[in-house]
């Protein structure tokens, strides 16, 4: 058996847990299944003679097989790097709902925070701003977004499924669900300490400004502001917005529109890389000039792998859109942990900590990688091995020079190629 063949023999969790259809899917990607000694050792935990007495949270254990019976390569204590949005408190209002996963829910996630939001058709996330930059991806439906920059230049646009937007720090903005059924989207902020419930809201500000000052500011009577709500609206139901072109024209009068668009049609973008295992779209300031936050939207077919790699310039914040997968993170000093992910889960990997993501389900796994840096960067194990003197690599790992010769010179990102 060649070294390459040995490398391709993977321990199959599907085999261990008897998930036949997923194993078939994996086989289509020529990922051979073999029970190694380690796999047999792991399987013995779940053997019929293991009575597994005592309390068990069965649904949670079933969702987290790599916590229930970790692979033998896991070792030591790693800070938890997963938090499901399903555990976050949902704030429900007329017009929609929202919930957040920040450093308070997931203490390791210091650089970025996330918010899920649903707006009904006509539902408005109130005009507001915040200190942090806001990156977003539309997950379902469509919305009208508005913003005004420091030169009074306006931005009004409609965004659909798969599209992104970026509101720079301090820029006031709004989001409104469109017909027929509003929208669902994910927001990502460039500070783990962000709090969606503590932003600067236009109603809240005006309610806390003396009425005579408001009158003086606009040279109007105090009664002009009689209808300003005493309490924030935050998210509220309203009628649908007007014609897009008419609203754009109205907002741009006298100053024009922002010089760099605040939206990006990622749904229409060609993938950055396509392999047999799936595809990736990388969106950073090279393609979306206004963004200080970079992203990779990754699709893995059943059994495929987001290859072993790390990011030298930023922590990674992840959101799982659909499918099931697992990720192992090696944190150094013999310490590593594997956790399982599915739709709506947040994952987090500190800067330069190596990791992989494997599709463990029987459908596509789609997730996004987010970074608090305008330039996307990664270093893959395969690329490192391919571009290091092969004798030196052989002296470390014992792998043959013919195996090293066969590694593609460009990183795969998603395997198999
Ligand atoms: Mn916002
Ligand atoms: Mn990564």
Residue 329: CATH number of its domain: 2.60.120.10
Tokens (6 digits) for 314: 């930023």
- Domain shared by 39 and 153, yes or no: no
Distance CA 333, CA 355 (A): 15
Residue 116 lies in a domain: yes
Q: Single out the residue of 51, 84, 89, 86 nearest to residue 67, CA to CA.
A: 84
- Domain shared by 117 and 252, yes or no: yes
Dist. CA 227 → ligand 2 center (Å): 50
Residue 171 lies in a domain: yes
Distance CA 103, CA 348 (A): 11
Cβ atoms of 66 and 52 closer than 8 Å: no
Identify which ligand lies nearest to the alpha carbon of 173: 1
- Domain shared by 134 and 237, yes or no: yes
**For 147, which DSSP code?**
E
Residue 76 lies in a domain: no
Cβ atoms of 136 and 185 closer than 8 Å: yes
**Which pLDDT does position 307 carry in this prediction?**
98
Cβ atoms of 356 and 316 closer than 8 Å: no
- Within 208-283, residue ranges assigned H as helices are 211-218, 244-252
How many residues appear in the chain?
417
Buried b (16+ CB within 10 A) or exposed e, 236-254: bbeeebeeeeebeeebbee
- Domain shared by 389 and 349, yes or no: yes
- Domain shared by 105 and 172, yes or no: yes
- Domain shared by 277 and 147, yes or no: no
- Domain shared by 29 and 174, yes or no: no
221 Cβ neighbours under 8 A, 6+ residues apart: 215
Distance CA 117, CA 176 (A): 11
Dist. CA 187 → ligand 1 center (Å): 8
Strand positions, DSSP E, 160-269: 164-167, 173-177, 183-189, 200-201, 235-236, 263-264
**Which pLDDT does position 398 carry in this prediction?**
97
Identify which ligand lies nearest to the alpha carbon of 201: 1
- Domain shared by 98 and 226, yes or no: yes
Residue 411 lies in a domain: no
Identify which ligand lies nearest to the alpha carbon of 133: 1
321 Cβ neighbours under 8 A, 6+ residues apart: 139, 343, 366, 367, 368
Distance CA 292, CA 279 (A): 23
Tokens (6 digits) for 91: 């704030």
Dist. CA 342 → ligand 2 center (Å): 16
Q: How many domains does the chain have?
A: 3
- Domain shared by 8 and 117, yes or no: no
Residue 416 lies in a domain: no
Dist. CA 184 → ligand 1 center (Å): 15
- Domain shared by 177 and 238, yes or no: yes
Residue 89 lies in a domain: no
Tokens (6 digits) for 130: 């915040």
Q: Is 134 marked active-site?
A: no
- Domain shared by 213 and 280, yes or no: no
Q: Single out the residue of 90, 88, 173, 188 nearest to residue 138, CA to CA.
A: 188
**Which pLDDT does position 54 carry in this prediction?**
85
Residue 85 lies in a domain: no
**Which pLDDT does position 53 carry in this prediction?**
76
Identify which ligand lies nearest to the alpha carbon of 306: 2
Which of 220, 249, 264 terminates a domain? The answer is 264
Residue 255 lies in a domain: yes
User: CA distances (Å), 159 to each of 251, 318, 339, 366, in order?
Assistant: 18, 22, 33, 20
Q: What is the pTM (predicted TM-score) of this model?
A: 0.88
Dist. CA 393 → ligand 2 center (Å): 23
Which of 264, 290, 312 terminates a domain? The answer is 264
- Centre a 10 Å sphere on the Cβ of residue 257 and count the other Cβ atoms it contains: 16
- 3-class DSSP state of 351: coil
Dist. CA 125 → ligand 1 center (Å): 8
- Domain shared by 284 and 249, yes or no: no
Catalytic residue among 342, 369, 383, 411: 369
Distance CA 293, CA 287 (A): 12
Which of 245, 264, 283 terminates a domain? The answer is 264
Dist. CA 85 → ligand 1 center (Å): 18
Consecutive 10-residue averages of pLDDT for the chain (417 residues): 42 37 44 46 53 85 94 96 98 97 98 98 98 98 98 98 98 98 98 97 97 98 96 97 98 98 96 98 98 98 98 98 98 98 98 98 98 98 97 96 95 94
Q: Single out the residue of 51, 45, 54 nearest to residue 17, CA to CA.
A: 45
Distance CA 358, CA 298 (A): 11
- Within 264-388, residue ranges assigned H as helices are 381-386
Structural domain that includes position 107: 94-264
């Amino acid at each position: 058996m060649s070294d390459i063949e040995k490398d391709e023999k993977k321990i199959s969790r599907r085999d261990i847990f008897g998930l036949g259809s997923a194993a078939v899917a994996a086989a289509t990607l020529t990922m051979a299944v073999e029970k190694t000694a380690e796999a047999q050792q792991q399987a013995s935990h779940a053997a019929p003679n293991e009575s597994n007495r005592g309390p068990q949270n069965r649904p949670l254990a079933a969702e987290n097989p790599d916590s229930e019976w970790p692979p033998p390569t896991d070792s030591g204590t790693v800070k938890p790097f997963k938090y499901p949005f399903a555990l976050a408190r949902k704030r429900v209002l007329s017009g929609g709902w929202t919930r957040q996963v920040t450093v308070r829910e997931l203490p390791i996630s210091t650089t970025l925070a996330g918010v899920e939001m649903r707006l009904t058709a006509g539902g408005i996330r109130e005009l507001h701003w915040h200190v942090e930059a806001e990156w977003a991806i539309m997950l379902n439906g469509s919305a009208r977004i508005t913003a005004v920059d420091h030169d009074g230049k306006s931005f009004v646009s409609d965004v659909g499924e798969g599209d992104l937007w970026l509101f720079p720090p301090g820029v006031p903005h709004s989001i409104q669900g469109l017909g027929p059924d509003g929208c669902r989207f994910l927001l990502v902020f460039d500070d783990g300490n962000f709090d969606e419930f503590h932003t600067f809201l236009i109603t809240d500000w005006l309610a806390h400004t003396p009425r005579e000052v408001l009158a003086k500011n606009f040279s109007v009577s105090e009664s002009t502001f009689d209808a300003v709500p005493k309490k924030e609206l935050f998210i509220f139901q309203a009628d649908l917005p007007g014609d897009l072109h008419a609203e754009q024209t109205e907002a741009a009068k006298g100053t024009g529109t922002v010089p760099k668009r605040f939206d990006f049609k990622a749904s229409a973008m060609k993938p950055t890389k396509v392999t047999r295992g799936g595809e990736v779209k990388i969106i950073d300031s090279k393609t979306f000039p206004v963004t200080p936050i970079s992203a990779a939207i990754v699709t893995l077919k059943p059994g495929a792998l987001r290859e072993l790699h790390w990011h030298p310039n930023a922590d990674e914040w992840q959101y799982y859109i659909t499918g099931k997968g697992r990720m192992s993170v090696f944190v150094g000093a013999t310490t590593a942990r594997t956790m399982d992910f599915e739709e709506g889960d947040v994952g987090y990997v500190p800067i330069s900590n190596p990791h992989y993501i494997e599709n463990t389900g029987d459908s596509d796994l789609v997730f996004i990688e987010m970074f608090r840096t305008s330039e996307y960067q990664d270093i893959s194990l395969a690329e490192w091995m391919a571009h290091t003197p092969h004798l030196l690599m052989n002296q470390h790992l014992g792998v043959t020079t013919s195996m090293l010769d066969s590694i593609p010179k460009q990183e795969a990102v998603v395997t198999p190629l």
